[in-house]
Structure 1
Amino acid sequence: MTDPSAPATGAAPVRPATEADLPAIADTLADAFADYPWTRWAVPADGYAERLRALQLYFAERIGLPYGRVWTTADHAAASVWTVPDTEIPADLFTSPELAALYGDRLPEVGRADALLEAHRPHRPCWFLATVGVRRDRQGEGLGRAVVEPGLHAADAAGAPVFLETATADNVRIYRRLGFEVTAEVDLPGGAPTTWCMERGPGST
């Protein structure tokens, strides 16, 4: 992931994504997360790149687009995927055989880590920044901030907080510049990376 707190420097226009955008968005997010500590831990090394792209497509297509929000730049160089508090996501989307197959033998460890993180997630309605990524050859142009800002503005308009989880200390510093504060620093078992839970109140940018 790139720095979504950096101001855009001639960034491409941002718009809500459509179904036709999803393959390119999956390509971008897979590229952005290729070396991210969480995905390197959670996704099996066997077929890692293909599994990672398929996971990004699954969450954008099956969860973000129908039940949340997805924003992308016009050239698909950056994208953000959100869930929103006023839409209930069917629980079976998180336990589908398709998803289980993508996680493969990592599924039990990922499930245990997710259960521990669940205790630190907000119990009140909030927007959840599920993922944001910028293609590696386009980082440093402010595209991360460009695709995050629509969600922040929408949450502000609704008077709702925003929540996210990140697995690098660098990202913690980045998100603090957007008004997020750490609510928990979680040491996870099984060699998982330390994960920070962060929250931003309405109007905190």
Structure 2
Amino acid sequence: MIREATPGDVEGAADTLTAAFAEYPFTRHTISADDHLARLREFQRLFLAEIGLPHGRVWVSDGLDAVAVWSTPAGDAGPTLQQLLPRLVELAGDRSDAHASAEAAMEAHRPAEPVWFLGTVGVRPSAQGRGLGRAVIEPGLAAADAEGVPAFLETSTDANVGVYKALGFEITAEYDLPDGGPRTWAMLRRPSP
């Protein structure tokens, strides 16, 4: 069963996202290798607790094996992100310059119009292949459709592109991140009537 997350889910959801992103090309490029998993987990925990829950929407599966965190047009997370910036730079460690240049490169490909932004989605590796990723994404797509607003995401693995295409996303940009970063795809899904 899929449900909206509560504050009590933050720690377990952060564990799931850490396991899902442990070897992800983008986070490996933008977060220091020194104590990488602890840094990654705190990054995910902050995103869940400070952005997703108060300013967006978060869906989880029972057992917290899958998590999807959305930023929404109504959420206005900008001021909170600015407050978190020093902590995020600290977490990036010796990759903070790469993180900043990656964000700047991605910003150029992000929509100017209001969107539901799928900031992070992950499935615990032991639970992959059961459709849980799609299941936690779909409520956000339905909510975006109900508002008549597009959904947007970025991914840094080719395998994810096909998954997102099957959900109705189209590639709007494909580019290599600076400083030797991974290939990244920007993808948009127009609202369904």
Q: Same fold (TM over 0.5)?
A: yes
* Larger proportion of helix: 2
Deviations 1:124-145 (A, max 9, x none): 1110001110000011111101
Structure 2 partner of 1:15: 3
Please tell me the residue identity of whatever aligns with 2:34. D
Aligned counterparts of 2:40 and 2:189: Cα–Cα separation in 1: 28
Do structure 1's residue 59 and structure 2's residue 47 form an aligned pair? yes
User: 1:92 Cα shift?
Assistant: 5.0
Structure 1 partner of 2:68: 80
User: 1:14 Cα shift?
Assistant: 0.7
User: 1:39 Cα shift?
Assistant: 0.9
- Is the contact between residue 51 and residue 80 of structure 2 (CA under 8 Å) also seen in structure 1? no
Structure 1 partner of 2:190: 201
152-161 or 91-100: bigger deviation? 91-100
Aligned counterparts of 2:81 and 2:148: Cα–Cα separation in 1: 28
Q: Kindly, what percent of the aligned residue pairs are identical? A: 52
Q: CA RMSD in A?
A: 1.2
Could you state the TM-score of these two structures normalised by the residue count of structure 1? 0.90
Could you state the TM-score of these two structures normalised by the residue count of structure 2? 0.96
Please tell me the residue identity of whatever aligns with 2:58. V
Structure 1 partner of 2:101: 112
Do structure 1's residue 34 and structure 2's residue 22 form an aligned pair? yes
Count residues with an aligned counterpart: 192
Structure 1 partner of 2:31: 43
- Is the contact between residue 56 and residue 71 of structure 2 (CA under 8 Å) also seen in structure 1? yes
Structure 2 partner of 1:125: 114
Aligned counterparts of 1:149 and 1:96: Cα–Cα separation in 2: 30
User: 1:186 Cα shift?
Assistant: 1.6
Segments of structure 2 that go 5 or more residues without pairing to the other structure are: none
Please tell me the residue identity of whatever aligns with 1:99. L
